[in-house]
Amino acid sequence: MSTPVIEAVGLRKEFRTRRGRHIVAVHDLDLSVPAGGVHGFLGPNGSGKTTTIRMLLGLARASKGEMRLFGEPVPRRLPAVMNRIGAVVEQPKFTPTFTGRKNLLLLSRSIGASTTSVDAALERVGLSGRDKDRFKGYSLGMKQRLAIAATLVKNPDLLILDEPTNGLDPAGIRDIRTTIRELGESGVTVLLSSHILAEVQQVCESVSIIGNGRLLASGSVRDLVGGSTTSASRVVVDAPDRATEHLRAAGFTVAEDDGALRVEGAPAPEEITRLLAEHDLFVSELSPVRRDLESVFLQLTKSDTLGTTEEPE
Amino acid sequence: MRLLLVELSRLRSRRAVVLMLLAAFLLTAFLAGSRIYETRPVSAADRASAQAQADAEAQQPGYQRDVARCEKRPQRYLGRQGVAADCEEMLLPQAEWYLYRTDLSVAAERQNTGLAVAFLAVAVTLVAGATFAGADWSSGSMSNQLLFEPRRSRVWLAKAGAVALAAFLVTAVVLSLFWLTLYLAAASRGIPTGATVQVDLRWTIARTALLAALAALGSYALTMLLRHTVGTLAMVFGYAVVGQAVVAAIPVEGTGRWALGNNVIAWIRDGTRYYDPSLVCRPGSGKCVQYGRLSFEQGAVYLGATVLVVVLLSLLLFRRRDIP
């Protein structure tokens, strides 16, 4: 088995607020991201996603635990691997009075990258026509694109993206998702931190879900979702109250579900239509309930209200 | 070296820094121009105007009354040797009284406008150093830079090097242009500037440029520590003004030695004599002199040690603290 590109063991981040409260943002987190493909990093707001990323990238110090990138212990050996890593952490942060191009040129020169790589990166994110505009005049979407362009300047082996589609219009979101997918397919490992579950499900092959700074689940999206469907069916019928009565009498579990009935326990969907038809109840809609990442995520994180935990002294 | 060049490029591209340096150039040019104008040679027209003023003034009844009294009793007005013929010349306004101009003296300017220009250059580089670092923190671009070069010490040192180098060079150029302008103006008027003064000017420029580099480095380091331009400027102002008042209020003799302003002047002037009210006049000690002396070395140790403490603290904490 190949070495994980990202590995964290017992990672912990504690800090004290100005009022002296002791906060644990990341709680003995174990994380492993295999090489290649797009890996989702999911968690509610304040669950410790960004803090974990910042620790991996050397922007924040871990209180405890070990981290490795490309097998190298970080932050100690971060300089050895940083040129292989592109990252966007939180909002795009550039010098507002410089042009987009100037911002990228300064960053690229600091690692000895060529001007051509800057031009190529700007071209790839669709900013080459606006690269001479000042960063402060960019829309949020353009800022996000510039941040992604900055990651591409390095031609990275690992791309860490923290909410990369924030503020983008639908076309921009589609473009960025396509870029992420292409990068994943080309062998680049992408860690995509997002709270947009549909995005993660569309783009990622594997996912890690954290809550309260702890790892709640990790694995391939397919495994986590547990197949494409459940045994439940969504039924729309004229008289839901009577239908509920008859279905329960037959031993099925019935729950109201947004104007329809969610029926569980039926061996097959046709059993439901047959039973209801016998009682002169006719189904206008019947569909299998698909289990998705959202339901898995909500189930795993339902106790996670505020994300970070506060520990007693 | 690569990072240093990048930071120099970043510094040069900062509009606020460029505007400040431009303002320093213009203000220095204005000061040089005004000194050259104020010391311009007296023309025939100036003399005629002064003579007219003197003549008009001489017609005032008060002057005429004094001349009449003097001519009656010249010795009372002009002393034992006084004669009536001298009364008009001695008592009536003369044209020279209305020609206030002095000759342009490069040597004398060292203590006057020269010191103002030196202070201006140091102040501008100090603000430029603070705003250069502060912009990285306020925009949040520091974290982005560290995603490209994670060795924080290198980043800190490259920025520090750029700030100090730029401050040194700009100050050296500004001061050189200022003194060269005055020197050439004096030479064109046939006023010689001695070789000793010229050598002293070169050393003054070098010392001031070094002080500007130190000031820029100190303010940069403090801003990297506080992560806020305004915080740095407030602290420097507090240290310079409030700190000086606090030091003066301490009931200990010789506190003037620790005043920031005295040490800065000692650095620029290669030593200074300063008024120190905390110096106690003891009975029987003869003539009481409440003046202290500070050498360039003493000023350098004071300022160097202050900046060194800030630099070490700033670098150490920049390496350890989380980056927003």
User: Is pLDDT of A223 > 80?
Assistant: no
Please tell me the predicted confidence (pLDDT) of residue A188: 93
Give the pLDDT band (50/70/90) at residue B236.
very high
Q: Taking CA atoms, what residue in B is nearest to A135?
A: B139
Secondary structure class of B82 (helix, strand, coil): coil
Task: Identify which of A97, A110, A154 has the shortest CB distance to residue B15.
Answer: A97
CA angle in degrees (0–180, nearest 5) for B198-B203-B207: 150
A89 interface with B at CB cutoff 8 Å: yes
Q: What percent of chain A has pLDDT over 70?
A: 91
Q: Which of B145, B30, B320, B56 is nearest to A108 (CA)?
A: B145
- Whether A132 has its CB under 8 Å from any CB of chain B: the answer is no
Is any Cβ of chain B less than 8 angstroms from the Cβ of A95?
yes
| Residue B283: per-residue pLDDT | 67
| Run of H or E residues at B293 | strand B291-294
Mean confidence (pLDDT) of chain A: 87
Q: Is the pTM of this model over 0.80?
A: yes
CB B174, CB B28: distance < 8 Å: yes
pLDDT of residue A312: 47
Q: Do A98 and B150 touch (CB under 8 A)?
A: no
The pLDDT tens digits of the residues spanning B68-119 come to 899 888 888 888 888 888 888 888 888 888 887 888 889 889 888 999 999 9
Percent of chain B at pLDDT > 90 equals: 56
Query: Closest partner residue to B149 among A57, A102, A111, by Cβ?
Result: A111
For chain A, positions 257-276, list CB contacts with chain B under 8 A. Answer: none
Question: Which residues of chain B have a CB within 8 Å of the CB of A75?
Answer: 150
Q: What is the reported pLDDT for A310?
A: 55
Q: What pLDDT score does B212 carry?
A: 96
Average pLDDT over residues A225-235: 68
Return the pLDDT at A311: 53
**pLDDT of A309:** 53
ipTM greater than 0.85: no
The rounded distance, in Å, linking the Cα atoms of A70 and A66 is 13
Over residues A114-162, the pLDDT tens digits come to 899 999 999 988 888 899 999 999 988 889 889 999 999 998 999 999 9
- Locate tokens 């500007």: which residue? B212
Average pLDDT for B172-191: 93
Is the Cβ pair B145, A110 closer than 8 Å? yes
Q: How far B11 CA sits from the closest chain A CA (Å)?
A: 11
**A230 band by pLDDT with thresholds 50, 70 and 90:** low
Across the interface, whether the CB atoms of B141 and A112 are under 8 A apart is answered: no
Rounded CA separation B290/B271 (Å): 17
- Is A111 close to B322, i.e. CB distance below 8 A? no
Is any Cβ of chain B less than 8 angstroms from the Cβ of A145? Answer: no
Per-residue pLDDT, averaged over B242-255, amounts to 81
pLDDT in tens, A31-59: 999 998 999 998 888 888 999 999 999 99
What confidence score (pLDDT) does residue A307 get? 46
| Contact (CB, 8 A) for A166 and A192 | no
pLDDT one-digit tens code per residue, A252-280? 989 887 788 988 888 888 889 999 999 99
A106 and B CB contact within 8 Å: yes
Tell me: pLDDT of B170 over 80: yes
Confidence of residue A17 (pLDDT cuts 50, 70, 90): confident
Position with higher pLDDT, A100 vs B259: A100
Q: pLDDT tier at A222 (50, 70, 90 boundaries)?
A: confident
- Tens digits of residue pLDDT in A168-216: 788 888 888 888 888 889 899 999 998 888 788 888 989 998 888 888 8
Contact state of A91 with B13 under an 8 Å Cβ cutoff: no
pLDDT at A291: 66
The pLDDT value recorded for residue B286 is: 65
Judged against a pLDDT cut of 80, whether residue A224 lies above it is answered with: no
Residue A260 bridge partners (DSSP): A257
pLDDT band for position A303 (cuts 50, 70, 90)? low
Confidence of residue A226 (pLDDT cuts 50, 70, 90): low
pLDDT at residue A228, rounded to an integer:
44
What confidence category does residue A22 fall into, taking pLDDT thresholds of 50, 70 and 90? confident
CA distance A2 to chain B (A): 26
A118: its two tokens: 């800057």
Chain A residues within an 8 Å CB radius of B4:
none
Interface touch A109/B9, C-beta < 8 Å:
yes
